Structure 1
Amino acid sequence: MIAESVLAAAVAVAPSWACSGCEAVANDTRCQATLGQHANIMRYCNRYPAGDGESEFAEEETQREQARASLERYLHYYERWTEHGASMRKARQDLDALEGSGLDELADAIGVPPTELGFLLDAHAQIVEARRVLRWTYAYVYYLQPERDRAKRELCEYLQGEAERSLEVLHLCAERNFVSATRHAAVRFAEFRQKLCNLTLVTRSHFSKLVEGFESGMAEVVS
């Protein structure tokens, strides 16, 4: 009883100060904590605000996850932008070499007129153009809003994937198969020429659809 009387008297005469933990006044009856439950120096309730702390931690963790996801998304598109740029420059160098003395040298090496090697120029020119277009499609898709433009992005990625697969097959054939084809009989070379011409046409068709889709703003997508 004596202790309770002393505590009551202390509360009555204690100066008022704001409790940072519960945003009440320490000697006000609205504060659910007693005077003994307040830290006089820090002026915080000794009760751990579990809910608020967990909420702040969860929010910070969410922000970190969002930042990490944003960085990974950026790197995904940036890496493909740079890779296609490097491949485009290499294809441009190969085309320039063929347009120089390379085509005549190849014609002499395999014993055919240079006019019969025009399909090589067409293939390499298509590769250069396709790399250029594909590079910019990654920049375009990057700036689409993930949620708002979901349908448009999915159509873009479908057309992009079809075009990219055809391009890789064409590029591989133009770079590797030509060497082996020129080391065999004329029949083998004729087969290679037909194959490369067909791949060039297929790739051109895919990229025509891709360009049309981007120029129309993916009009096929119903908003």
Structure 2
Amino acid sequence: MKNKKLIIVLVGVIVLIVLALGAWKVLNTEKPISKKSTLIEYKELTQEDRQSTAEWKTYKNDKFNYQINYPNDWFVFDDEAKMDFAEIKINDEANAKQGGTIFWSNKDNINYTQENKLDDFLLLGLMIYEKSETNLDNFANLLGFTPELQSSSVIFKADNIEGKEYISLGTTDANPRMAIIFKKDNNFFVFHLGFVGDNQENLKIMEKMVGSFKSL
């Protein structure tokens, strides 16, 4: 009888040991960590947008090797569009070379300021810079798109090149600073979206124009 009780006790102890070992193994076995996919936010023209911009006028620059479409009733101001690079000071700490400045507008005169502009005046400017060993975000920072000004960015896909659209605080809450920047080799193509304000329709027009930008 005593032997039978002893066997039962031993079996119970063995079961407890097995359970304990099993629990230890489960707790100490590395489990695969499930990785949540992060959606990258981006802007890209729809097929309908691309079809509409294909019916616009086309500006082509064979010096800096690009082309862009713009609305048929807009004007292009390209007096300096093929000027060579010249050394400039971007800010107190950085220099770069700048050239190829060009503007597009829905008006035949672009000599306006924020104070005296017409209510429906729109202006898209392109400035081309040359600076080595600098990426998009760092260059945007040099242009004033900094965390201190609550800057944010989103990937922007044009015809055959990808860049970023940057937004930061402007002169007023209703007039933020906006730029879309592309990089090819050591050249930065910086589109400034002027006088957009909080008008989404105006923003859409300019984004469609920049969305047609093509590196040649």
Q: TM-score, normalised by structure 2?
A: 0.28
Q: Per chain length, whose mean CA-contact separation is higher, i.e. which structure has more relative contact order (CA < 8 Å, sep 6+)?
A: 2
Which has more strand, going by share of residues? 2
